[in-house]
Structure 1
Amino acid sequence: MSQLEDAVAAAEAGDKNKAYVILAALLKTEPNNVDAWVALSQIVDDEKQKRTFLTRALTLKSDHARAASLLHQLDSPPAPEVVEDLPLEAESDDVDMAELEPEEEVAEPAAEVESDPLPEVIAPAVDTAPDDTVLMPAAEVAALRQQIEPEPTDTVVDARPISGNAEDFESQATGDTIPPWLMGEDGAIIPEAEALESMLEPEGVDSAELEPEVPDWLREELADSWEDEPAPEIVEDEPLSTREIASVAPTTPKASKKPASKRSKKQLDRMFSWLILVFVLVGEIALYFLLQVVTELNLLG
């Protein structure tokens, strides 16, 4: 079944809230569904809303016969309530006519019936029920109707479709649609002030916790002038003892004497051997150059 068929079935079953929710969801996805607008006009009780929804349907499809007929019925004067509220009146009229016809035909034996000690047998017990129903006063009919019909509740079901589209704010401003935050879970409209208060108030936070904490020094009563204020108490530190001063004073490290470095005999021998090696190398180099010079002089001489 489609959503439209589900809504019609729910409306025929008497569950208008369910039918409204289904049609609102359908119109949110299909705003140009003419049949949905017509069905929505049959669910609401407000004549102004009926006219608005039917006009919307005719705007989308001007030749829609069902919408034009329903709108014409709204414009025409209402029919007498007696015919609509008491559908048994026609049956009661038929019963009265049926009772009158045999009385006219059996006019002669009526005299014999007068002598009968039991005249109540003539009126059948079945015919008394419609007669009693027809002859009931209007006050009793209204009382019975209140017992049969459910008691009205404070829940107000708005037939306007729910829309959260950003481009639909203009329709929400004119009243054609309503934002989702104004619609409760049961399909009832939440007052705007209550909805705004619930949106602004954080969830799970007590109102007492939101109050700022006042420090103790702000709660104290102040003097009229600063001269009347008591002087603050000055706490003097106790003098330290000699032992405590000695423990706190920094300790200066004592200078340590470095022992004179004494070269061992082995180190001296090693240095002496290095010096001899250096002199030998220098002497060999000098002797080499001297031999070179002598050789060149001999060659030249």
Structure 2
Amino acid sequence: MKSKRNYPLLVLKGIGMGAADVIPGVSGGTIAFITGIYEELVGAIRSFDLTALRLLGRFDLRGFWRHIHGGFLFSVLAGIAISIFSLAKLMKYLLESYPIFVWSFFFGLIIASSWLVAREVKRWGIGTVVALAAGTVAAYVITALSPATTPDAWWFIVLSGAVAVCAMILPGISGAFILLLLGKYAYIIGAVSTFDVPVLLLFAVGAVVGIVSFSHLLSWLLARYHGVTVALLTGFMVGSLNKIWPWKRVVETYTNSHGEVLPLVERNVLPGAYEQLTGQPALLSWAIVFMAAGFLLIWGIERGAAALSRRRAAEQEADKH
């Protein structure tokens, strides 16, 4: 890894990941991928191994910090934490008050992200096309599942953390939506909003165990089968568009612990059908504007990152001479 890092920029990238992670249907892994830190992030998480434990056991804190790429990880995780704790209430408000605008924005964002990630596959062949199709189908099936009612026991909170965090680092598979399927999204968001320390600690334990274990598998796949793995991740992103389609009709509802009636099962509908079924405006023109804004945001980030990379390459070349 590079010795000179732009740590404030890494924090901003973490903030983007955290913002995505609190929305059911959008993956923090997607943001990591499009901001160019995905493989480095997976590798850094994978560095929590036996060597790291030995360094920690010898109280070689400096060696431990270098081994786990502490500066990089701390910056990204700090951004994620800042975003989650500051945006949880805001995102809940926006999703309740302006759902079509929010989902439209992220619909455009995911379309642009899928295109950019697919460009990382250098050679398309039968294997990569099959992986793309498999990822698309898998993500579609997952997002079409109905949320479940599950216990609030400590072991299930730990399990939820382990499963959800694995999804959070997969582009297109939303950790927040996995929590929704497990019936724990509102419960965990509530714990974040009220800073319920016991619940958050249990969730964090599961998250740490899950992400360290899963990162080893993902890092191995990226090293051995990079093209196929990236195609599979692209498919996850394409399939997840099913979940973030802006116009939905509520099929089933449930009542939460606060007595609020909330959607349980939703089905996608066309804008015209949405107006007929709900009696509310589809806001199609505004939805297109927000989709375009999401697409252009990702396109702008990618162009900016490419320009920065070219400038650094030119500076390094000039330093050689």
**TM-score, normalising length: structure 1:** 0.24
When Rg is computed on C-alpha atoms for both structures, the one with the higher figure is 1
Comparing both chains, which one has the higher relative contact order based on Cα–Cα distances under 8 Å and sequence gaps of 6 or more? 2
Q: Under a length normalisation based on structure 2, what TM-score does the superposition of the two structures give?
A: 0.23
Greater fraction of residues in helix: 2
User: When you count strand as a share of all residues, which structure comes out higher?
Assistant: 2
